[in-house]
Amino acid sequence: MEILLDKIIKKNKIKTKFGTVASYIPGLNKAKKEDLGICLLDMDGNKYMCGNYNKKFTIQSVSKPIALMLAMLDNGVDYVFSKVGTEPTGDAFNSIIRLETATVKKPYNPMINAGAIAVSSMIKGENKEDKFKRLLEFFKLITENNTLTFNEEIYSGENRTGHKNRAMAYFMKDQGIIESSVEDGLDVYFKQCSIEVTAVDLAMIGMFLARNGSLSTGEKIISDYEAKAIKSLMMTCGMYDGSGEFALKVGIPSKSGVGGGIMSVLPNKLGIGIYGPSLDKKGNSIGGDGILEDLSKKLNLSIF
């Protein structure tokens, strides 16, 4: 397995030249474009790692399914989906357009920024600090990594410059989608996006979902239905407006982030974490995408 991973990483390193590191959030552009790493976990407890699997990066949008899990636990699935839809958009992850034009007045899904901000505003807590503290504890539980923290510089940079996210949040407040404090919701969202992880942490999240919401100890954290909802939304919306092509070429439920992470789940089989900060035009890791395509073809991993 390690030999295969090494080969696939070497092959896809070439692709990283053709992408760009995200720079719209201050600090993200410090990443090294050519970095590429993977961690793969299976149900028997085997762990395979290759490349820059140990490098820390901010989780960004890969945080969206995890925040969704806690919002479901806090509010119930029906309430969450009464405020956020379950349909792909075909638009960019940060698009604002459908918030006003949609016939049903709610963000299309929890994997795009608008939907994710609405979800983060549903996390319960006394104040914004308490809300994020609960969410960070939840991240630690799922990744089984007690050392997780968030990157202050990236958080404050995004808080300072995230005008479009802020605009969408206030629009959703006007529409009654966000019921709690807008600024609390945004603060939780910006902080969760700046949680620092490695490919190993992402593989642990993937494995948690592969086990339908159980920790490695067997402890059940979310219901089968909730786990299935997360995985299906990852499949249909997790790679934004690249989700359809990704389903065709790779066929593995996955979630990407502009920090370069991809978290993938092969139900009942594998958890995969990838790091590769060079992004394609849609904001997905260009090398990570290539790695998953090769891996899926070589090991016949498509769920379809």
Which residues in the chain belong to E strands, given as ranges? Answer: 20-21, 37-42, 47-51, 57-58, 196-197, 254-256, 261-266, 270-275, 278-279
Nearest to 48 by CA among 37, 56, 58, 59: 37
| By the rule CB under 6 A, 109 interacts with ligand GLN | no
Considering only residues 120 through 139, tell me which ones interact with ligand GLN, judged by CB under 6 A. Answer: none
Helix (H), strand (E) at residue 138? helix 128-143
Select which of 53, 61, 231, 255 is catalytic.
61
| By the rule CB under 6 A, 113 interacts with ligand GLN | yes
Considering only residues 197 through 256, tell me which ones interact with ligand GLN, judged by CB under 6 A. Answer: none
CB of 210 to ligand GLN, least distance (A): 22
Cα 273 from Cα 264, distance rounded (Å): 6
Closer to ligand GLN by CB, 144 or 183: give it. 183
- Interface pick for ligand GLN out of 93, 108, 132, 150 (rule CB under 6 A): 93
User: Is 21 an active-site residue?
Assistant: no
CA 152 to chain centre: 19
User: Is 61 an active-site residue?
Assistant: yes
| By the rule CB under 6 A, 258 interacts with ligand GLN | yes
Cα 239 from Cα 285, distance rounded (Å): 10
User: Is 108 an active-site residue?
Assistant: no
| By the rule CB under 6 A, 61 interacts with ligand GLN | yes
Angle at which helix 64-75 crosses helix 182-193, to 10 degrees, equals 140
Select which of 33, 64, 83, 231 is catalytic.
64
| By the rule CB under 6 A, 57 interacts with ligand GLN | no
| By the rule CB under 6 A, 257 interacts with ligand GLN | yes
Q: Closest residue (Cβ) to ligand GLN? A: 61
Task: Determine the residue type at 68.
Answer: L
Three-state DSSP at 21 gives strand
Q: Which residues form the interface with ligand GLN (CB under 6 A)?
A: 60-61, 93-94, 113, 158, 165, 193, 257-258, 283
